[in-house]
Every structure is written in C-alpha cells, then in structure tokens.
C-alpha cells in the first residue's frame, strides 16, 4: 500500500470566526426552540388542567340537570294526578287573582297598541 498522505485543511482566522459565528447563531436558534418547547409544554399542561376542570363541571351540571328533569317529571305526575282526582291546582282565590292579573295585562297591552 502506498503511503497515504493526510492533508490537514488549514482554516484562516476569518474562516474560523465565520464558523464560530455560524455555530453561535445555530446555538441561539436551538436555545430559542428549546424555550418555546418548554413554554408550549407548560401551556399544554395548563390547558389539560382547564379541560379536566371543565369536564368535571360538565359532569356536575349534567347530574344537576338530570335531578331537575326528575323533579319536573315528578311534579308533572303530581299535577296530572291532582287534575284526574278532580281537585284543582289553584284555589278559588288564586284563580280570581290570576284572572284579574291577566285582564290587567291585556288592558296594558291594548293601551300600548
């Protein structure tokens, strides 16, 4: 095998400074990307927490809604039972007061027309 001569490439001072400058710029970009990644991970964690909180609130509200639906249905059944038994929901006095209120409202509406 013939002797192989390894030629070392010699860089000038200007080329070294240019290379150092390029490496510094690359390092700065990598640092900024790393900082952005950390910020995004923190923001993602915050958003995940917010989603969990909102899901918990949604579940609570859905339970409350189901309870209210059951209550309304129970009251509806009670009203239907009361009506079918011949009893009235309103007393005579309440009916008269309601009729008077309706007449008053009709009068006010008519006066505005």
Q: What's residue 1's pLDDT? A: 47
- Show the low-confidence residues of the chain (pLDDT under 50): 1, 6
pLDDT of 76: 87
Threshold 0.85, pTM exceeds: no
Which pLDDT does position 85 carry in this prediction? 72
Q: Where are the domains of the chain?
A: 13-112
End-to-end CA distance of the chain: 114
Q: 48 to each of 36, 40, 73, 99, how far by Cα in Å?
A: 18, 12, 37, 55
- Cβ neighbors of 90 (< 8 A, separation 6 or more) are 98
């Amino acid at each position: 095998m013939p002797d192989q001569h390894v030629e070392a490439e010699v860089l000038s001072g200007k080329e070294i400074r240019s290379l150092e400058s390029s490496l510094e710029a690359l390092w700065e970009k990598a640092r900024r990307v790393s900082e952005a990644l950390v910020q995004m991970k923190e923001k993602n964690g915050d958003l995940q927490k917010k989603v969990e909180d909102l899901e918990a609130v949604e579940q609570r509200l859905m339970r409350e809604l189901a309870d209210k639906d059951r209550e309304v249905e129970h009251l509806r059944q009670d009203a239907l039972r009361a009506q079918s038994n011949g009893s009235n929901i309103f007393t005579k006095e309440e009916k008269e007061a309601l009729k008077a209120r309706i007449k008053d409202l009709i009068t006010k509406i008519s006066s505005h027309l």
